Every structure is written in structure tokens, then in C-alpha cells.
Structure 1
Amino acid sequence: MHEQRAKLLAGILAASETTGGPRAECLSMAEGAGVPSDSNAILDRVTAQLEALSGGSGGGDAVPPGTGTCAADEPARKRALDLLLAHAEPALQKIKSRDFSLGPDELCAMEAIIIADGSRPSFLLSGGRVAMHDPFVGEWEGSLVASRDAVERVAKAVGRIQPVGGNASYYIGSGTLVDRTERLVLTNFHVIEQARTLHGIAMHDDGGRLVVEGDFEIDFAAESGVLDTRRFRITEVRLPEGAGAVFGGIDAAVCRLEPLDDGVTLPDAVRPLSPSAQYATGEISSMALIGFPGEPAKDKGDKVDWNFVIAELFGRRFGVKRLAPGRFRHGLGTHPLDTGKRAIGHDATTFGGASGALVVAWLDDGAPGFALHFGGETVESNYALSFAKARAVLEPLGVPFG
């Protein structure tokens, strides 16, 4: 299992290297296509980008607004970078010689490298856009420019689902406005279940729908460093036939909203949502998630606390709106628990969160949303509910498709 994962990570780095950088072309590379040839160049690139992120070598102008760290944070950030490099260097040397017998800490270091070198970045959004001087932009610049308007349009419709008064450190998941007139938001069934069971938000069943009695909301602002909110109350939850968490059923729910703050209007809804089969078979040319990834939830290493490393290297900015490009990995029914053959696999960076994030074809005309992210593991494989399989049960709940 470890060797298979090591080959996957090596293949991602090799594809980025052979295309001259982590461009969109690497989204279609064959799994396990090769190994990177220049480990020193990878480490140099990672070091430079992480220093720029913290205001080091990149200087003040190189740091996106709200992403720099203060001097008091630097000892922890330097320790995290040192830990990363100490385990990444031997790991890269091993895979260069096609030795994929990496230990747990080496595997975690490789995963962090792929996020940090820009192969699978997670971009902070400001006003629905990625700052082009973000240190992780690199070879993604062309794709980000080409998709700028489409990403901004979709991002404005994506909100953070949370208990009343929630924030970046106290929230439940992501949701996307799919019908502005009816005020309908699409999210995961398990996000609603967590609201009930973990956060104690009262709801009662009323003939196939849940009436929300407690305080439950969505905030469509929720970007890094943004003080303003754009909140609406969730008053009703519609559940599809066969609803269930993760692979246990249709992991989707439709929330109906009511105004919460005076003078606040809804953004435009995401259109179109696509049930096309091409987005469930790997024919897609592009994919990205827009949502609210959370801090890594578990430590997979042996001697190193990789939660600490990832958090420090990425400025401890979780629970705010991000764009994460990736590629298609698995077709319907690939996971052994996906007996309903409803889920596709992808490798976008989610930091172990982002439940309910919309998966969009961000480089295609109109940037159609075609799946709903519900879980998995960053880089190794995440899973999303395909609209090609879920349309029949989502349309009766008011979800429109193109």
C-alpha cells in the first residue's frame, strides 16, 4: 500500500517536471508515469516558495494580502520547514532510483512537497480571485487567468456552513447556492448529520424534509482576512431518496435559506450543473474544488507531527475559501465501499476537510459543476458524488441541471 502511494506521488512530481511546471497538462498524466529527475530543484523551489509565503526571500510585495506571518511565527515555521526537508530529501533520492519503499514520515513529506511545490496547490481566494503574486501560482498562472471570471462567479456562490456565529475555526462544511429564487444550497448529507449530532442543532422530520429549529447558517463571504459576513439562516433540509453518509448512500442534502442579516442579498447561483457522463468517466479536461478545507485531522507519520508541519507551512489559514485544482483519478465504483457506483475519485488538495465543496470543470466553457466532494485523503484519493448518477434524486429536491 505504501509503495503504491509512493508511486502515485512520484508520478505527480514527474508530470509537473516534464511539462515544465505544474500546468493543466499534468491533469491527464498516467498514474505512475515516472519519477522526478532533479530532486534538488524540487527542494529549492519548495524552500523559495515557503520563504516567500512567510515574507522571507520573497519580500513584502511577493506575499498575498493576509498570508504573511509575523516574526513571532518564524521559529515554528522554520522548524516545520526543516522537518519537511529532512524527510523529503531522502524520500526524493529513493524514488529517483525507483525505490518506492518509503516510510510513513517520508510519505507524508512527499505529500507536503506536492502541495508546497505547486503541483496540487490550495489557493486562498480574495474577492473570489486568486492573487497572482501568490507564491504557489507558478505555472498555474495561465489557467488562473483564463478561468478568472468563471472561478469568481462560482466562488461567490460557495458558503461556509456553520452553527450560528461560526467562524473559520468553528464550522461544519461547505455549501453552494444552486437556485437563487428558491434560495437552495447543495451540501453533503453528512454535513447535516454532523450539525445535528456533533453540534446539537435541533431539527425534526416533517414528511421527507427536516425542519431546522436550532440556529444554523451559511456565510457566503468567509475569505481570509475578511471581516464582513454574508450570512443566511438555514431553515429547512431536503433529503434525497437513499440519503446516507459518505459511501453509505447519496451523500447530498439541499438546504433552504431565509434572510438573517438586514440588507444582505444572495449571490448569483451556480449555473450550470452538469449531469454529463463525460465528467464521470475521466474524459474531463479540468477539475477544481471551491470550498472551505479544514486543518488536517490526523497524524499519519511515525516520528513527526505532520499536522503541525502542514499547518505551519501554510500559515494556519484553514476554514476560509480556497480553490484547489486537481485531476480525475478513479471512475465510478472504484472504491470497494462504493457499491452504488456513484463516486468518482480526484487528487485535489483538501487538507482533510472541505465536505460539501463543489467540483467544477474550471477550464471548460461555463465552468460547470459536476460533482459534490464528500471525503477522502489529500493526494492519495478524494471522492465526490457524481451528478451523472445523482441527478435523478437531486432534481426532485429542486436542484437544477443544464
Structure 2
Amino acid sequence: MDEQRAKTFAGILALSEMVGGPRAECLSMTEGAAAPSAPDTILDRVTMQLEMLAQGSEGGGAEPPATAESCGDEEFKREKALGLLLTHAEPALQKVKSGNFALSLDELCAMEAIIIADGSRPSFVLRGSRVAMDDPFIGGWEGPLVASRDAIEKVAAAVGRIQPAGGNASYYIGSGTLIDRADRLVLTNYHVVDQARRLHGVAMREDGSRLIVEGNLEIDFAGETGAFDTKRFRIAEVRLPVGAGAVFSGVDAAVCRLEPLDEGVILPDAVSPLSPSSEYATGEVTSLALIGFPGEPAKNKGDKVDWNFVVSELFRRRFGIKRLAPGRFRHGLGTHPEDIGKRAIGHDATTFGGASGALVVAWLDDGAPGFALHFGGETVESNYALSFAKARATLEPLGVPFG
């Protein structure tokens, strides 16, 4: 299993070296070369990105401090952690270049981290529903980001953070997208709603195939970095599809009906009709990205290195805010052994908990149609999303519009 993960990471980095490959366009389905050909080039690119991040967070380009006494304890740990990233990444890259995929846990974590750090699978912060063009990970993505700017803006404005009453970037459950403005309908995962009920104690009453929300549950369509304003609406009712279930146990989707919450707040425009086209379930997809609210990564993933701290630094410790994460189609329907209903496709966009319920869009296609609903997985390696091509029959009766 670990060797397969190493091969996956190596393939992503190999494709990143290809001119016009997924790093710039996300178009290829092939795995490409078995391993990156120039580890030193990748490490140079990562080092440059980390230096840019350090300058951005510290407000200058001073040399990094060498001891804990010469700066704050936290800063010293940060420099040490980022140094360890490069220390473990180098032997990992050299191993896979030679065809050796038997990596240690820390080497695997280093490979995953550099995929984020070198811009192969970035997660872009959104401001005003647009990617901030001063993002240090822009790199080869600038052309596609500019070309798709208007489409991204329209979709991103309709994406909100689902949270208990008074929630925020540190206290929320998942993501949702407005799909019908007139009827005030939002699409999210079943398991997001279920967690609101079970883990956050939001009272809900069953009424046939509906849940009447008696407690306080809301969605905020703002939730961008540095934004003080909110655009909150109350979730009043949840419509469940036939066979609703969490992750692979059923149809992991739910439609929420909203009610006004804060006076004077206007709903954004809904996304265009969603696409149930089979081409987005078979790998013919030409582009793929998620727009949602990724949270902090899982804790203690490594052996000797605090990789959670490293990845937190790569994200500038900004989680729970709206982001765009481009990626690539990875697995077809029914690939996961638990996907008995053959409803899920796999992708390799960078996601963490909190991105559940994020819409998967063909961001480089005309109109950036949404074609799947992200529900879980492991960032970079393989995430999974409910394909609308397979779920249309169960979602349409709930009011989900398809083109």
C-alpha cells in the first residue's frame, strides 16, 4: 500500500515536469513517467516557494534564524520543520528516481508535502471569489486561472461554509453550494448533515424523507480570508435522497432549504445547472477542481517529523476559508472496494476535512459545470466524489437542477 502511494506521488511530480501537463492544464489522464527525472529541480522549486512563504509571513526577506534564542520558539520550530521537509524529501526523490518505492513513513509524508509546496496540487485562497494572483503557488497555473476567472468567480460566490450557529473558520462542519436561488436550495453531503446532528447536537426531526431542523444550523457564503462580513442563512430543512448514507454506504448527498437569518443579506446567484454527462464519470473530463473550505490536516501522520506542522505552514495556517483546489481525474466508477453502488469517481486535488460537500467542477470547460460532489479520501493520493452521472435519478426529485 505504501509503495503504491509512493508511485502515485512520483507520478504526480513526473507529470508536473511535462510542458502543458497537469501542473498547468490538468488535462492528462495518463500516469506519465514512473518517477520525476530531476529531483534537484523539484527541491529548488520547493525551496523557492518556502522562502517566499517565509518572506510573506514575516514581512521581509531576512535570513532565517538559526537558534530558538534568536527568535520566537514557534519560528524556530517552523524553520526546523521546513528544513526536515527538505531533508526527507531529497532521499525520497532519489529513491523513486532509481525505481525504489519502498519509502519510510516520513519520506512518504515529505513527498506529499512537496506536491503541495511545488505547486503541483495547490489549494488557492479566494478573495472576492477570485484567486489572489499574488499567491506564491501560482506558478504555471496563471494562464488557466486568468482564462477561467469569471467562471470560478460565479461558482465560488455560491459556495458556503456549513456550521453551527455562530460558527467560524475554526468551528464548522463542511461545505455546500447554492443550486437554486428561487427555492433557496443548497447541495452538500449527507454525512455533513449527519455530523451536525450527531456530533454538534443540532436538533432535527424526521419527517418522511426530510429532516426538519429545529436547532440552529447555518451556511455562510462569505468565509473568505480576512473577511469580517458574513452572508449567513439558516438551514431550515434537509431533503434526503433514497438510499442516503455516509461516504460509500449510500448516496452521500443532501439538499438543504434555507431561510433568511440576518436582515438585508441577499443570496448569491446559484451555480448553473449541474452536469450529469457520462464524460465526467469516465475520465474524458478535461478539467477538475474543488471549491470549498478545507480544514486542518490529520494530526501526527509522520514517524519522527511533525508533518501536520509542516503542512500547516504551507497553508500559512489558514484553514476553514474558501479555496480553489485544482486536480486531476484519477479513478473511475466503482474503483474503491467499498463503492458497491459504483457511484464514486476518484481525484487527486488537495483536500482536508471540511472540504466535504464541495462541488467538483470542470473549471476549464465553458461555464465550469459541476459534475460531482466531494465526500472524502486522502489528500493528493485519492479523494472520492459522488458522480452526478450516477446520482441524477436520486437527486433530481429533491430539486437538484441538471442541464
What amino acid does structure 1 have at the position aligned with 2:336?
H
| Equivalent pair of 1:174/1:354 in contact (CA under 8 Å) | yes
What amino acid does structure 1 have at the position aligned with 2:390?
K
**Residue 41 of structure 2 corresponds to which residue in structure 1?**
41
Could you tell me how far apart the structure 1 residues matched to 2:56 and 2:190 are?
43
Residue 312 of structure 1: CA displacement?
2.1
**Residue 143 of structure 1 corresponds to which residue in structure 2?**
144
Residue 60 of structure 1: CA displacement?
6.2
* Match runs of 1:375-390 below 5 Å: 375-390=376-391
Could you tell me how far apart the structure 1 residues matched to 2:84 and 2:188 are?
37
**Residue 351 of structure 1 corresponds to which residue in structure 2?**
352
Residue 236 of structure 1: CA displacement?
0.3
Give the fraction of aligned pairs with identical amino acids, expressed as a percent: 79
Could you tell me how far apart the structure 1 residues matched to 2:245 and 2:257 are?
19
Residue 314 of structure 1: CA displacement?
1.8
Give the 3-state SS of the residue equivalent to 2:55 in structure 1. coil
- Is residue 2:276 matched to residue 1:245? no
**Residue 291 of structure 1 corresponds to which residue in structure 2?**
292
Give the 3-state SS of the residue equivalent to 1:125 in structure 2. strand
| Equivalent pair of 1:296/1:353 in contact (CA under 8 Å) | no
Deviant stretches of 4+, over 4 Å: 56-61, 70-73
Closer, same or farther: CA 284–181 of 1 in aligned 2, 3 Å: same
Could you tell me how far apart the structure 2 residues matched to 1:265 and 1:35 are?
50
Could you tell me how far apart the structure 1 residues matched to 2:107 and 2:242 are?
43
Cα shift readout 1:224-267 (whole Å, capped 9, x = no counterpart): 11111000000000000000000000000000000100100000
| Equivalent pair of 1:236/1:256 in contact (CA under 8 Å) | yes
**Residue 214 of structure 1 corresponds to which residue in structure 2?**
215
Aligned CA RMSD, in angstroms, stands at 1.8
Closer, same or farther: CA 51–330 of 1 in aligned 2, 3 Å: same
Closer, same or farther: CA 23–297 of 1 in aligned 2, 3 Å: closer
Aligned length: 394
* Match runs of 1:212-361 below 5 Å: 212-361=213-362
- For structure 1, the 5+ residue unaligned runs are 62-69
Residue 303 of structure 1: CA displacement?
1.7
The alignment's TM-score, normalised by the length of structure 2, stands at 0.94
Closer, same or farther: CA 162–57 of 1 in aligned 2, 3 Å: closer
Could you tell me how far apart the structure 1 residues matched to 2:42 and 2:390 are?
40
What amino acid does structure 2 have at the position aligned with 1:369?
G
| Equivalent pair of 2:219/2:234 in contact (CA under 8 Å) | yes
| Equivalent pair of 1:353/1:375 in contact (CA under 8 Å) | no
Cα shift readout 1:19-64 (whole Å, capped 9, x = no counterpart): 2775344541422633112212111111111221232699769xxx
- Is residue 2:181 matched to residue 1:180? yes
- For structure 2, the 5+ residue unaligned runs are 62-70
Deviates more, 1:86-95 or 1:22-31: 22-31
**Residue 168 of structure 1 corresponds to which residue in structure 2?**
169
Could you tell me how far apart the structure 1 residues matched to 2:34 and 2:59 are?
35
Residue 179 of structure 1: CA displacement?
0.1
Closer, same or farther: CA 124–377 of 1 in aligned 2, 3 Å: same
| Equivalent pair of 2:81/2:306 in contact (CA under 8 Å) | no
| Equivalent pair of 2:295/2:320 in contact (CA under 8 Å) | yes
- Is residue 2:66 matched to residue 1:55? no
Could you tell me how far apart the structure 1 residues matched to 2:269 and 2:73 are?
41
